[in-house]
Every structure is written in structure tokens, then in C-alpha cells.
Amino acid sequence: MTRIGVSTYCLMDRSLGDALETLSTETDLVEVLSDSRHSLFEYADVCTSFDLRYTVHAPTTDLNIALENERMRLASIRVIEDLAGVCDRIGASVLVVHPGVCTDLRRMAASARALRRSLDDLARMQTGCAVTLAVENMGSWPCCHFRDTALLPVLEELGLGFVLDVGHARLNGNLEAFCTAGDPVHFHLHDNDGTTDLHAGCGTGTIDFSAVLDAVPPRATAVIEVQDAGAVRPSLAYLNGI
């Protein structure tokens, strides 16, 4: 694994330029959460002003690839396709995609079928772009897809990447299973108490990060994804000291 990076998630209250300026003093790898003031559809050119390596997180609002409504599902796929083009332009290595949600649990099976159609679409998309499209495991809310390891063989079969969010896996009680069953191309590192998705500083909760770091493949990237910008430096110091 190369040097641990940091997500702009902790600096969404600032412009993308200010966020990159701040994080560039801590790391050479930054994940841009392409939402709001950090939208790469509006501010991609800012990235070229910094000597940084990038990964990108697709928008977490107004995007759901597990929608039964086919026109709305395809709209989400088109947004990801457009963003993949931006990723190629700024040289991002990984594009993180959420697997979607289903707010009516009675329709979960139908939503899962919609997600599978979207994964097929992403697999076709992958052949035409340089960035690795990678799907993130989700937290413990019942509406979330990809809460356990069952989707991993599908991603492997389709040639899609897997992002291991260690905080989400801890909430679902299957962090060890994800570490042993999957082959992640990218990691989201944050801590919690095992009950709430705190996105807290690494080393402040209940996650065994020594075991996590032992499971990181040499080619994988990893970013700290904390909510509080003040937790970035202590998290880096903690992880680099393991």
C-alpha cells in the first residue's frame, strides 16, 4: 500500500481549492467527494493546480443505482459515466460508487435486481475508461445494499473493483469476513463504537486497525474518511505508527 490519503469529506464546508490546499500539507493522495462545493462537474480544473494523486467518490446525494424506475436508474448511470470521464481527465485511479438503497423494504428484491442491471452497466463502462470503478460496502441501515460479502463474487465476475469501508463493515459485524473474503482495490478508514456510523478518528473507537492494515494488498489505495478535519492528523499519526 502506498501512503495513506485523506478524503475531502471532512472539509465540505470549504471550497475544493481550500480543501486540497489544506490536505496537500498532510498527504499526496486525496479523495474528492464529488458533491456540493467539491463537485468535479464544476471544479475539476482545480485539481490540476495541485501535485496530488486522486481518487474520486461519486455523489452521495441524488444518485441511486438500485432504483426500480428504469429511467431514473439510467440517469444515475449516466452521471457516473460522465464522472468517469472527468476522473480520466484528472488522472484519478479509483471512482468509488455506492450500491444504492431501497427505502421500501418490501421492494428490496426488485431493487436488488435493479442494482444488478447497474453493475452490468458499470462493467461495460469499465472497458471504456482508465479509472477503476469500485463499489463500496455500506453501513447497517436496513435500506442499504451490500452490507455483507455476498456481492463480492459478482463484482469479481464483472471485473469491478471493491472498496472496503472498514467502519461500515464494523457496524455490520463482518469486518474480518470482508478482510479475508475480498480483494479490495481501495479502503475507507475511519472508526466507530460498533453501533453508530461516527466516521471518527482512527484509533478512537473499536476497530483493530493493525489487522486491517495487514489485509491491505500492496497495490491498493486507502484514504482516511473522517467527519472532523481535526481528526485527520491524529489519524495519520496513529495509522503510520502501527
Query: 59-63, 74-78, 82-86, 122-126: which range is least confident on average?
Result: 59-63
The predicted model scores a pTM of: 0.98
d(CA 72, CA 61) in angstroms, rounded, equals 13
Residue range 72-85: mean pLDDT, rounded: 98
Residue 1: pLDDT over 60 = no
Where exactly are the structural domains of the chain?
5-240
Q: How many CB atoms lie within 10 A of CB 18?
A: 14
User: Residues 197-216: pLDDT tens digits?
Assistant: 999 999 999 999 999 999 99
Residue with the bigger pLDDT between 182 and 100: it is 100
Structure confidence at residue 182 (pLDDT): 83
Q: Which CATH architecture has domain 5-240?
A: Alpha-Beta Barrel (3.20)
Structure confidence at residue 2 (pLDDT): 61
